[in-house]
C-alpha cells in the first residue's frame, strides 16, 4: 500500500485520497524574481515524480502550482536591475518552463501567476476582515494568529512562547528558518505614486506572499486537497500561515497530506543565491552531463534526506545511470520487434519498483533493486519474448523516472 510521511503528524500514513475520482495537489511554485537553480529543481522534481507515480498507480491527478511574481524580492530585483517587474518575471517564467521541459517534467494543470489574480486575494482578505481575524493598521492588512485556533499545528509551534505585546511583521519573507512570533502581513497598502500596485475595492496596494497560495486554492479547488507539497523551509511560517488563512474561511482542512522536500546542499552548505554557491541546469550540462543524468542525480536520493552536491557524487550518479541505460538498451536490442511476454524477471522488476516507491517514494531503494536485478541479467541469453517483456516493464517504470530511455 502506498504510504507517505505526513508532516502533519510526523508519521508515515497509508495514502487515502480525499476524492477517489481525482487526487488534487497544490505545490508551492517558484519565486520568479530570479532564475531557479538546481536546488529549487530538486523540490520540483520530487513533485514531478510524485505526480507520475500516482498516475502509475492508477490515480487521476490534478495539480496546481503558483508563479510568485508579486513580492518584495521581485520589486527589489527589478529596482536593482533597472527593469520592469513584468518583463523580469515573465522572462524567468519562460526560462523555468523551458528548464522543466529539459528535465522531463510535467507542467501542472494550473499554473496561475499571482499578478493575474489580485482580485481573488482581495476577496479573501475581505472575508478575513469581516470575520475580525484580519485588521487594518497603517494602511496595511495583518492577520492575527491568536484569532485562529490551532495556529502552528503543522510545525508544532509552542504557542506559550507567543509575546504578550502586539508585534507586526511587514515583509513578505524573512531570511532564515525561524518563527516570527506576531501578526503577519496580508496586504501592502500603497501611497501616492508607488509602483507595482493595483486599484482594488479595498484600496490601492498589492497582496502579500502569504495570501497568494490560499487565494489561488480558493479559486481552483473547492474541497480538502489530497496533498500539499513544498520545500522544508516552508514548514517555518509559510505553510502554517496558509493553513490559518484558508481554514479561517473554509470549514474543512486545507490538505490531508503534507509532503516536504529537503534542500540541496553544496559541500555541506545549503545552496542559495544569498550564499553565492548556486548551480544552474546549464552549469551541469556544460560539464558534459545529460539532462537525464542531472534529473537522476536530483531524484535518486530520498526526498526527505539531505542531498549534497559534490562533483564526485554527480559523477558516480551519472555512471550508475549510464550502466543502467546500457543494460536496458542491450535488452531492447535483444528483444527487437518481438511481442512482450511476462516472465519472472519482468514481474520482479515491477514488484521491486512498486515496493520501493510505495514506501514514501523511496526512489533510491527502488533503483538499487532494479539495478541489482539487471546486472545479473545476461541480455544475449534472454529469450526474445522475455527480453521484450523486460523492456515493457522498464518502459512502464521509466514513465515515472524519465531517465532510462
Domains of the chain: 3-261 (3.40.50.620), 269-401 (no CATH)
Mean pLDDT across the chain: 96
Task: Please write the tens of the pLDDT for every residue from 333-352.
Answer: 999 999 999 999 999 999 99
Q: Which three cell numbers stand for residue 87?
A: 518583463
- Decide if pLDDT at 56 tops 90: yes
Beta strands in 273-368 (DSSP E): 307-309
Contact 105, 46 (CB under 8 A): no
- Percent of the chain residues topping a pLDDT of 70: 100
Confidence of residue 275 (pLDDT cuts 50, 70, 90): confident
Predicted local confidence at residue 137, as pLDDT: 98
Predicted local confidence at residue 28, as pLDDT: 94
Contact 259, 227 (CB under 8 A): yes
Contact 334, 380 (CB under 8 A): yes
- Decide if pLDDT at 180 tops 90: yes
- Percent of the chain residues topping a pLDDT of 90: 94
User: Which H or E run includes 311?
Assistant: helix 311-335
Contact 157, 179 (CB under 8 A): yes
Calpha distance 323→288 (Å, rounded)? 16
User: What is the pLDDT averaged over residues 157-173?
Assistant: 95
User: What is the pLDDT averaged over residues 189-206?
Assistant: 92
Confidence of residue 152 (pLDDT cuts 50, 70, 90): very high
User: What is the pLDDT averaged over residues 18-23?
Assistant: 96
- Decide if pLDDT at 171 tops 80: yes
- Decide if pLDDT at 46 tops 90: yes
Beta-carbon contacts of 225 under 8 Å, excluding residues fewer than 6 positions away, are 18, 24, 25, 26, 217, 254, 255, 256
Confidence of residue 276 (pLDDT cuts 50, 70, 90): confident
- Decide if pLDDT at 272 tops 80: no
Residue whose C-alpha is closest to residue 243's, from 151, 174, 161: 151
Task: Please write the tens of the pLDDT for every residue from 223-267.
Answer: 999 999 999 999 999 999 999 999 999 999 999 999 999 999 998
Contact 256, 226 (CB under 8 A): yes
CA-to-CA dists, residue 226 to 12, 273, 281, angstroms: 15, 32, 31
Predicted local confidence at residue 269, as pLDDT: 87
Q: Which of 80-94, 190-204, 265-279 has the highest mean pLDDT?
A: 80-94
Percentages of the chain per state (helix, strand, coil), in multiples of 5: 45, 20, 35
- Which contacts of 374-381 are long-range, i.e. CB under 8 A and separated by 24 or more positions? 374/324, 374/327, 374/328, 374/331, 374/349, 375/323, 375/327, 377/327, 377/331, 377/345, 379/327, 379/330, 379/331, 379/333, 379/334, 380/330, 380/334
The pTM is what? Answer: 0.96
Contact 51, 106 (CB under 8 A): yes
Calpha distance 26→65 (Å, rounded)? 6
3-state DSSP assignment of residue 359: strand
- Decide if pLDDT at 4 tops 90: yes
- Decide if pLDDT at 159 tops 80: yes
Predicted local confidence at residue 358, as pLDDT: 98
- Decide if pLDDT at 271 tops 90: no
Residue 68's DSSP bridge partners are 31
Amino acid at each position: 500500500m502506498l504510504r507517505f510521511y505526513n508532516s502533519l503528524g510526523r508519521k508515515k500514513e497509508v495514502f487515502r485520497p480525499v476524492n477517489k475520482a481525482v487526487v488534487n495537489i497544490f505545490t508551492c511554485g517558484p519565486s520568479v524574481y530570479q532564475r531557479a537553480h538546481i536546488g529549487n529543481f530538486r523540490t520540483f522534481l520530487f513533485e514531478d515524480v510524485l505526480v507520475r507515480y500516482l498516475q502509475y498507480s492508477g490515480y487521476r491527478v490534478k495539480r496546481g502550482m503558483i508563479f510568485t511574481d508579486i513580492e518584495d524580492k521581485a520589486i527589489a530585483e527589478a529596482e536593482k536591475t533597472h527593469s520592469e517587474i513584468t518583463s523580469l518575471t515573465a522572462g524567468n517564467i519562460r526560462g523555468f518552463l523551458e528548464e522543466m521541459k529539459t528535465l522531463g517534467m510535467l507542467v501542472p494543470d494550473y499554473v496561475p501567476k499571482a499578478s493575474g489574480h489580485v482580485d481573488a486575494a482581495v476577496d479573501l482578505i475581505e472575508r478575513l476582515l469581516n470575520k475580525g481575524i484580519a485588521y487594518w493598521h497603517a494602511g496595511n492588512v495583518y492577520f492575527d494568529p491568536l484569532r485562529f485556533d490551532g495556529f502552528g499545528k503543522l510545525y508544532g509551534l509552542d504557542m506559550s512562547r507567543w509575546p504578550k505585546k502586539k508585534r507586526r511583521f511587514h515583509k513578505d519573507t524573512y531570511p532564515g528558518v525561524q518563527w516570527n512570533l506576531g501578526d503577519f502581513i496580508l496586504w501592502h497598502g500603497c501611497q501616492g505614486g508607488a509602483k507595482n500596485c493595483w486599484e482594488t475595492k479595498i484600496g490601492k496596494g498589492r497582496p502579500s506572499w502569504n495570501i497568494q497560495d490560499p487565494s489561488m486554492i480558493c479559486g481552483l479547488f473547492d474541497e480538502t486537497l489530497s496533498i500539499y507539497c513544498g520545500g522544508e523551509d516552508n514548514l517555518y511560517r509559510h505553510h502554517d500561515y496558509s493553513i490559518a488563512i484558508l481554514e479561517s474561511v473554509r470549514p474543512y482542512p486545507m490538505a490531508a497530506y503534507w509532503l516536504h522536500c529537503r534542500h540541496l546542499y553544496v559541500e555541506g552548505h545549503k545552496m542559495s543565491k544569498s550564499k553565492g554557491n548556486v548551480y544552474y541546469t546549464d552549469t551541469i550540462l556544460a560539464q558534459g552531463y545529460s539532462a537525464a543524468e542531472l534529473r537522476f542525480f536530483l531524484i535518486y536520493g530520498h526526498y526527505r534526506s539531505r542531498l549534497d552536491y559534490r562533483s564526485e557524487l554527480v559523477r558516480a550518479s551519472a555512471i550508475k545511470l549510464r550502466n543502467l541505460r546500457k543494460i536496458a538498451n542491450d535488452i531492447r536490442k535483444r528483444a527487437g520487434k518481438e511481442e512482450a511476454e511476462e516472465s519472472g524477471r519482468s514481474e520482479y522488476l515491477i514488484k521491486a519498483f512498486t515496493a520501493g516507491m510505495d514506501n514514501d517514494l523511496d526512489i533510491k531503494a527502488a533503483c538499487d533493486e532494479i539495478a541489482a536485478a539487471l546486472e545479473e541479467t545476461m541480455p544475449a541469453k534472454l529469450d526474445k519474448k522475455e527480453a521484450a517483456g523486460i523492456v515493457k516493464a522498464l518502459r512502464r517504470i521509466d514513465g515515472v523516472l524519465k531517465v532510462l530511455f
